[in-house]
Structure formats: C-alpha cells, structure tokens
Amino acid sequence: MKWLVQVISSLAVVTAVAGELPSEARQAELRYLLTQDCGSCHGLTLKGGLGPALTREALAGKPAAFLSWTIMNGRPGTAMPPWRGFVNDAEGEWLAQILLNGEVTQ
C-alpha cells in the first residue's frame, strides 16, 4: 500500500499542473500512444487484455489524480510500468481526463 501513500502525497503536484493542455500535435501523439502502446496490454479498444479495461464505464468513479499518478509512476506489484520520461505531468493529467471522459478516439 506504499503506492497509495505516494498517490496521496502527489495529489498536490498533479493539481498544480492541471489545466496546461498539450498542443494539438502532441495530443494526436498521445492519443496514438494510448491506442497503440497502452493498447498492447489494455487492448486497442481499451476493453482490457493483460491489463484492466480502460473504458469510460470501467473507470467510472476513479479519481483523475489516481489515474494520472498510475500513468506516471506505474502500479507496483502489477505489470503497469511508469510512463514518466515519455509523458510529463500535464500530459499524464490530460490522458487521465480523456480516459475518464471516454474521448480517446476522435
């Protein structure tokens, strides 16, 4: 449960960067990353694979901060790797938001 403590302690950081939207071009790259590379575990349609489903329905009720923390830091004890280094905090927050809103494909 150490990761949960880390989630909570990083909430402030995540909140601080929220609102900075990635550029249009970068958004397209991030969507592609989400579909193709996250898709290798979560499925191209994000209905799940080795990793859990990431559809809007599956994520309903999950806090955005929890999702963006998981994207950035991975999920210890599972196969989910940290994506820090490939996406920055604002981008992680944006990815969490489009997942929650079910806006991955446009």
Residue ranges in contact with another protein by CB under 8 A:
36-37, 39-41, 43-45, 47-50, 74, 76, 79, 81-82, 86
Query: Of 18 and 33, which CB lies nearer to another protein in the complex structure?
Result: 33
Are 15 and 66 in contact by the 8 Å Cβ rule? The answer is: no
Q: CB of 49: closest distance to another protein in angstroms? A: 6
Q: Which of 9, 36 has the CB closer to another protein?
A: 36
Tokens representing 95 are 């990815």
Q: To the nearest whole angstrom, how small is the minimum distance from the Cβ of residue 41 to another protein?
A: 7
Smallest gap, in angstroms, from Cβ of residue 19 to another protein? Answer: 27
Which 8-state DSSP code applies to residue 34? I
- Shortest gap between Cβ of 57 and another protein (angstroms)? 13
Classified as helix, coil or strand, 18 is: coil
Q: How far, in Å, are 2, 10, 54 from residue 38 at the CA level? A: 24, 23, 10
Identify which of residues 56 and 75 has a Cβ nearer to another protein in the complex.
75
